[in-house]
Amino acid sequence: MLDVGWHKMTEKKKLKVKIFDREYSLLVENQEIAAELAEYVNSIMEETRDELPDQPKDTIAIIAALNIAYDSQS
């Protein structure tokens, strides 16, 4: 289970999210924010898959991660 609490000692809640056709169990402080972030990541992954349908999943994941990083800088 992935702990996305970013080093704080507060109560965490379980949250299941689906990203790129896989389900992940997370421990989060704020379920609403974590769910929104998971949806954002999923949407970028799906957009990337639509733009690059012949690429393997790992390539799609790397391109999507770069797009997310770029978006966070602008």
Domain locations in the chain as residue ranges: 2-73
Q: Which long-range contacts (CB under 8 A, 24 or more apart) does 13-19 make?
A: 17/42, 18/42, 19/45
Q: Rounded to two decimals, what is the model's pTM?
A: 0.82
Q: pLDDT tens across 4-52, in order?
A: 555 556 789 999 999 999 999 999 999 999 999 999 999 999 999 999 9
For the record, the structure tokens of 23 come out as: 């389900």
Q: Please state the separation of Cα 6 from the chain's center in Å.
A: 15
SS3 22: strand
Cβ neighbourhood burial of 72 (10 Å; 0-12, 13-18, 19+): exposed
